[in-house]
Amino acid sequence: MAKKVNKKREELLKKIDVAKAYSIEESMNLIKDLKSAKFDETVEVALNLNVDPRHADQMIRGSVVLPNGTGKTVKVAVFAKGVKIDEAKAAGADFTDTDALIEQIQAGNIEFDTVISTPDMMGVLGKVARVLGPKGLMPNPKTGTVTMDVATAVKESKGGKVNFRVDKKGNIHAGIGKVSFDKEAIAENFETFVRKINRLKPASAKGRYIKNAAISLTMSPAIKLDSSELLDLK
């Protein structure tokens, strides 16, 4: 039985040529016209990469600081000791009390979006790895969340840092801003994100690196993108 499309989505679908692969410029002109929700929808990017994550060298994972931010208020928890706690607080960290954080996480009460840790505190975090790991919150050096420079990590997290990780089917999904951003800001964030993905292309990955790509809003259908244009973003 075919899935019923509601009227609002039906109207949005009329604005998109589903058979077409849009250029970046065309998609930026169209994306803001797909706003339909009462809230400030997130601009979302989905990429399908020609990689096999079962091979360690093809596990694409990292982070990128978007020049215009994400439009989201990010709460940061920091695990550190001594002067590093003071540095984290000064940079704007929301949670820095290790004992309270451990109890909070063990109780399943997650009130933060990002976790940052100094290397010497990773042993402590091992107690809650089973909770944080599945939620994608476990600190990792590849995303810059295991570091002695906690101040920079906190500022980046609050200022527009996006973490990403390829799934087992080669897909990467990320929010790159809000529909309320102007077109130029969305485009700059998008291109910054794609350039980062391109820079992480493994030497062992053969064939077309970005196979498929799309951009959408939280409540909108997806706009298919011309992946060959994305590959030119270096």
Q: What is the pLDDT of residue 4?
A: 56
Residues 141 and 167 occupy one common structural domain: no
Helix, coil or strand: residue 136: coil
- Which two structure tokens, joined as six digits, stand for 102? 């451990």
In a domain, 1, yes or no: no
pLDDT single digits (tens) 129-140: 999 999 989 999
Query: How confident is the model at residue 2, as a pLDDT?
Result: 47
Q: Which of 138, 159, 180 is the last residue of a domain?
A: 159
Rounded CA gap, 147 and 101, in Å? 18
Structural domain ending residue among the three candidates 116, 135, 159 = 159
Is a pLDDT exceeding 70 seen at residue 192?
yes
Element (DSSP H or E) covering residue 46: strand 42-49
Cross-strand partners of 47 = 172, 213
Give the E-state strand segments of 55-198 in sequence order.
61-65, 76-79, 114-117, 161-165, 171-178
Q: Are residues 115 and 133 in the same domain?
A: yes
Distance, in Å, from the CA atom of 19 to the CA atom of 16, rounded to the nearest integer, reads 9
Checking if the pLDDT of 10 tops 60, the result is: yes
Are both 155 and 168 inside the same structural domain?
no
Map residue 103 onto helix, strand or coil: helix
The string of pLDDT tens digits covering residues 144-161 is: 999 999 999 999 999 999
> Does any domain span residue 205?
yes
From the list 76, 79, 81, 62, the residue with the least C-alpha distance to 128 is 79
Shared domain check, 197 and 137: no
Are 62 and 80 found together in one domain?
no
Task: Identify whether residues 167 and 51 lie together within a single domain.
Answer: yes
Look up the domain containing 88 and give its range.
Answer: 76-159
Q: Which residue has the tokens 């800001």?
A: 185
Residues 174 and 64 placed together within one structural domain of the fold: yes
**Average pLDDT value for residue range 111-129:** 96
pLDDT tens figures, 17-26: 999 999 999 9
Across 115-128, b (16+ Cβ under 10 Å) vs e yields: bbbbeebbeebeeb
The three-class DSSP label of residue 25 is: helix
pLDDT at 47 over 90: yes
